[in-house]
Structure 1
Amino acid sequence: MIKKLFCIGLLSIMLISAGFAQNKPNFINFINQKHAWVDSVFNTLTPKQRIAQLFLVRAHTNLGQKYIDSVKQVIEKEQLGGLVVFQGGPVRHANMFNEYQKVSKVPLLITFDGEWGLGMRMPDSTISYPYQMTLGAIQNNNMLYEMGRQVARDFQRIGMHFNFAPVVDINNNSKNPVINFRSFGDDKYKVTAKAKAYMDGMVQGGILASLKHFPGHGDTDVDSHHDLPQLKFDKTRLDSLELYPFQELIKDGAPSVMVAHMNIPALDATPNIPSSISKKVVTDLLRKELGFQGLTVTDAMDMNGVKKYFPRGEADVMAIEAGHDLLEVSENSGRAIDLILKEIRNGRISQASVDARVKKVLAAKLWLGLNQPKVVNTNNLYQDLNTPSAQSLVQRIADAAVTLLKSERGLKRFDPKRSTSIVSVGIDKAQDFEKGLALQLSDFEQFFIKGNETEEQLKELMKESKDNRQIILVIHDNRSRPRSELELNDATKEFVDKIAGRRTISIMLTNPYALNSVDVMRSSSVLLGYQNDFFMQKAVLKALLKQIKPEGKLPVTISENLKNGDGI
């Protein structure tokens, strides 16, 4: 009886919180109106403290207590607006948030890069949802909305308010080193629809979401963490492709847009100027032309893409001059605040404009309920962030993404009673797929190929693996950020091409672009699992064992014979 009452009470709390989130006022309208709480807080702040509300400082709990304490001192001294949270653990993070909020005159806005949920920064202790490229294969976008709602619950439980997601970049460059698998795909309409579902789930769940990376980072071959990418497209091309998701989702009420560090001469001909600190991009294009009235935020200001050509705080000043509401991870926030205050006094930056942005940030905090700050309760935090329902959702999404690229015939012929060779490439011991498959087979041999074997070694493996009646070739990519090219030597690639014959069912647990690294399309059937995580390994195993029907479709064009939308 007690357990039943607890469940009813928990359900009531969830329904009340869900109703509250859905009944929140429209965010864009709200932050552009006057509010008594905003004015009262604004009036307590010094000129420096007002500017400080526009800054988000880096926060970690995996770098030791000394680092945590040093950030606390900066927050207390400068009274910054919020945090950008990086690696650490959920309980340590929650304790850190509680400590930082205590020394903040104005409640901190706590932000996070959670494109695939909390697991993007805390993979060992929280749930990771599938990458956006994997989500791009799913045909039911309601699942992305459901994921957005769950991500919002997780954020609220740990005490965070703002997710820098979804990525709406259209990845039409297979060599893209920074977006790639983080994109929903290369079709602007599908990218927009999926981003809307994810965004709506988060916002209706009560947190903020941010479209990124404006004006579109999908067709670059330079990582802006390391250098300044250049887009040489004309305005017509940008309007028709890169800007499309932003245009449509701004109409649908996107709360925030993150602006990338890219040099785009068609938008601003100033030499080496990143889009993130260009007034022509932030104010003229995003604000005036596209009519965006939400929060703009820079990509991280400590990235080489912005600080390389505008060092020593000049980039921070230019970001404010360009029209931004929030600056993410300044190299030196204290220096930047002093420089901005100086430029306000010199007339370079308008005091009224800065004040309006400060009030907008404060209004966002009010919309989030930060006028009534809450201490994060760490009791059962780990369990609350790893619920069975959330884990079930991850698996349902993974199951829905599995894509059959060639012929059901091989899958239909697969028989667990036949002698089987399991040939696993890219690993040196059994992972979840191999362990699960082994439990189903009565007669099998397991072969592991790391990818650096010699031609002679692989010839011997070829002979042994062909002794069995059916072959399961499974290619793993164990890298935490799977790239377009597999890290296999030429001998291994040649081995894969040869063994992927008519008796073989090939399974790719890789970035989809990796289909260009090896030739598996000669196989009797080809299953694509998009990433190597345990939930995708389980999903492709279920497809192999005919427990689910593969329903995913390619979200990108791989080659002339493998195009966006393909899948049997």
Structure 2
Amino acid sequence: MKKTALVLFLSYISICGYAQKKQSFIDQLNKSNPWVDSVYNSLSNKEKLGQLFMLRAHSDKGKEYADKVAKQIKDNQVGGLVFFQGGPVRQAILTNQYQKLVPVPLMIAMDAEWGLGMRLDSTISYPYQMTLGAIQNNQLLYKMGEQVAKDFKRIGMQMNFAPVVDINNNPNNPVINYRSFGENKYNVADKGVAYMKGMQDNGIFTTAKHFPGHGDTDVDSHYDLPQIPFSKARLDTLEMFPFKKLMANGATGVMVGHMNIPALDPTPNLSSSLSRPIVTGILKNDFGFKGLVVSDAMEMKGAIKYFPNGQADVKALFAGLDVIELSEDTERAIKMLKKAIRHKEIPAKEVEAKIKKVLAAKYWMGLNNLEEVNLANLYQDLNRAESKNLIQQLADASVTVLKSTSAFPLRNDFVRKTVILNIGSGSNTTFSNTLKKIKPGATVINIPKNINEVELGIIRNNMKPYDQIIMAIIDNRLRPAGKLDFSSHLLQFVSEFSTKNTITALFANPYTITEIPGFERSASVIIGYQNLPEIQLSAAKVILGAHKASGKLPVSINAFFKYGDGIQMK
């Protein structure tokens, strides 16, 4: 069937009332689907195999790059795209252009774990999952899923590679860490379900990741193959627990990570994403998962280090994956897949089932009735007041008081001389500006992270007149790593002034507390998890008595601060 005929067929199906129904994707798979069968039968062999691959796309690399992506789409007739960095209007324009190059609409995906702002400028970023892990009201995470779904639909995307349901029980994890809801399997599972349902109930396809669990590793699978040395019993009851919970609640998809797990498959140097015993044996057969199984990026060293030159792509499909995300060379992979089918290394029936499952996913996504992305008012629609209000609600619900004395609510008294230290920031902050409104006589000192020892010594000497210190520790990096990038003399300064006269607020990854000896000596300790203006405002409101903190620590830090700690303010 030519493209024009296919478009007419799609219109006819829609007019006849065979449009997407409000049912779960898994339930839909159990029913016959004339659209899927008709489209499958209309495609050439190359177009069918292309459905199993998703290409990388950016909207910030200019026309030459965009043209190369367009050529790959046309040459390989792929099933979808994964967008990375860029801007919303540029991406929408490219999406409209790219969708015209294929007979079956592309499914457009993104890793948008905390919203479009994870990848796109001029869009909303919600708090990181570690921050969300502190929230006690999971309905707020459902609402976040709703808002993310609205953004995806508005910009012409159908699939979010989220939520992350890895349990971060290793503080040194370089790749998950703040992207996890925390270390407790029940908290991770419940929050993953809430966020997932918020998206899926509003028509966005989700993929829980990174099966079987990437939380307890100190190796980044982008650069090497992590080793997971744990027993099958532990993996089943801990790492895989959230995945089972999400699958029981109707997860549409699962993303398989790149890890070597001898207890599940003893093959040396084999990634879980390439393991038939793990993907087909455990995920599909033992757990009974019927949804779409997607690879983590197949350009990552965790997948291809030991199986280069396209071997990994074919092994992943044989393992049981339905979709290959970001092959190093999609054209090569399709040729190798054809050869594997011809030599009966991969059963043709399995490949047919994968292709039809992808088409069924596209039907569930509404791609049987594709509409162009409307560029009018796109920026305004993606920056809604309701989204910004929700960010403040999430911030308010996440802020955690680990220690509290009579030091706050802060009053505008004239007895105590107060200094506000913005440590890690070279300028005033939302936190200090908010406090100054109530305590206008307070002195604000901004201490950039690159301050030298001489300048810091001058500040130290000038601290003597102050009998009340409010100290904000601010990580200005885009990603809040588990270790601060402060100099040793600045960390020593923070430690020195963590005293009974100090209120300390941390706007950074909570694991960074371990770098500050004596941190627990502060009279009051407030954790903000990351450096968002809304979280700074929430922490300031707690100090001023205008907000009652309710967050609880989602990870254990040390002997003083453990999972579940958090004073519920009254």
| Aligned match for 2:140, one of 140, 143, 158 | 143
CA contact (8 A) 1:261 1:305 kept: yes
What residue in structure 1 maps to residue 474 of structure 2?
Answer: 476
Deviates more, 1:521-530 or 1:214-223: 521-530
Rounded to whole Å, the distance in 1 between the matches of 2:95 and 2:453 is 55
Rounded to whole Å, the distance in 2 between the matches of 1:453 and 1:380 is 44
Matches within 5 A, 1:88-167: 88-122=86-120, 124-167=121-164
Matches within 5 A, 1:24-39: 24-39=22-37
Matches within 5 A, 1:110-509: 110-122=108-120, 124-415=121-412, 418-509=416-507
Using the TM superposition, give the Cα deviation of residue 34 of structure 1 relative to its aligned residue in structure 2, in angstroms.
2.2
1:211-235 C-alpha deviation (Å, 9 max, x unpaired): 1000000000000011110001110
CA contact (8 A) 1:53 1:80 kept: yes
Using the TM superposition, give the Cα deviation of residue 435 of structure 1 relative to its aligned residue in structure 2, in angstroms.
3.0
Q: Which runs of no fewer than 5 residues in structure 1 stay unpaired? A: 1-19
| Partner SS state of residue 423, structure 1 | strand
Rounded to whole Å, the distance in 2 between the matches of 1:233 and 1:422 is 47
Using the TM superposition, give the Cα deviation of residue 413 of structure 1 relative to its aligned residue in structure 2, in angstroms.
4.8
Using the TM superposition, give the Cα deviation of residue 160 of structure 1 relative to its aligned residue in structure 2, in angstroms.
0.4
What residue in structure 1 maps to residue 6 of structure 2?
Answer: none
Using the TM superposition, give the Cα deviation of residue 430 of structure 1 relative to its aligned residue in structure 2, in angstroms.
1.8
Using the TM superposition, give the Cα deviation of residue 559 of structure 1 relative to its aligned residue in structure 2, in angstroms.
1.0
Give 1:284's aligned amino acid: G
Using the TM superposition, give the Cα deviation of residue 23 of structure 1 relative to its aligned residue in structure 2, in angstroms.
6.2
Rounded to whole Å, the distance in 2 between the matches of 1:64 and 1:534 is 32
What residue in structure 2 maps to residue 17 of structure 1?
Answer: none
In the superposition, the TM-score normalised over structure 1's length comes to 0.94
Rounded to whole Å, the distance in 2 between the matches of 1:466 and 1:176 is 40
Q: Which runs of no fewer than 5 residues in structure 2 stay unpaired? A: 1-17
1:132-189 C-alpha deviation (Å, 9 max, x unpaired): 0000000000000011111111100111001111110000000100000000010001
| Partner SS state of residue 241, structure 1 | helix
Rounded to whole Å, the distance in 2 between the matches of 1:21 and 1:194 is 31
Using the TM superposition, give the Cα deviation of residue 408 of structure 1 relative to its aligned residue in structure 2, in angstroms.
4.1
Rounded to whole Å, the distance in 2 between the matches of 1:454 and 1:230 is 41
The 1:79/1:466 distance shift into structure 2, 3 A limit, reads: same
CA contact (8 A) 1:472 1:506 kept: yes
Q: Does 1:552 align with 2:551?
A: yes
Give 2:35's aligned amino acid: W
The 1:23/1:351 distance shift into structure 2, 3 A limit, reads: closer
What residue in structure 2 maps to residue 522 of structure 1?
Answer: 521
1:235-286 C-alpha deviation (Å, 9 max, x unpaired): 0110111011111221111110000000111111111111011111110010
In the superposition, the TM-score normalised over structure 2's length comes to 0.94
1:318-368 C-alpha deviation (Å, 9 max, x unpaired): 111111111111111011000000110011011111011101110111111
Rounded to whole Å, the distance in 1 between the matches of 2:79 and 2:197 is 25
Rounded to whole Å, the distance in 1 between the matches of 2:208 and 2:145 is 14
What residue in structure 1 maps to residue 43 of structure 2?
Answer: 45
CA contact (8 A) 2:19 2:369 kept: no
What residue in structure 2 maps to residue 4 of structure 1?
Answer: none
Rounded to whole Å, the distance in 2 between the matches of 1:137 and 1:329 is 33
Number of aligned residues: 548
The CA RMSD measured in Å over matched residues stands at 1.6
Deviates more, 1:308-317 or 1:535-544: 535-544
Deviates more, 1:373-382 or 1:445-454: 445-454
Rounded to whole Å, the distance in 1 between the matches of 2:546 and 2:91 is 40
Rounded to whole Å, the distance in 1 between the matches of 2:122 and 2:450 is 32
Rounded to whole Å, the distance in 2 between the matches of 1:38 and 1:261 is 31
Using the TM superposition, give the Cα deviation of residue 454 of structure 1 relative to its aligned residue in structure 2, in angstroms.
4.4
The 1:287/1:492 distance shift into structure 2, 3 A limit, reads: same
What residue in structure 2 maps to residue 13 of structure 1?
Answer: none
Rounded to whole Å, the distance in 2 between the matches of 1:447 and 1:554 is 29
Rounded to whole Å, the distance in 2 between the matches of 1:429 and 1:151 is 32
Q: Quick one: percent identity of the two aligned structures?
A: 51
CA contact (8 A) 1:230 1:262 kept: yes
Rounded to whole Å, the distance in 2 between the matches of 1:22 and 1:186 is 38
CA contact (8 A) 1:176 1:222 kept: yes
Rounded to whole Å, the distance in 2 between the matches of 1:466 and 1:270 is 64
Rounded to whole Å, the distance in 1 between the matches of 2:440 and 2:44 is 74
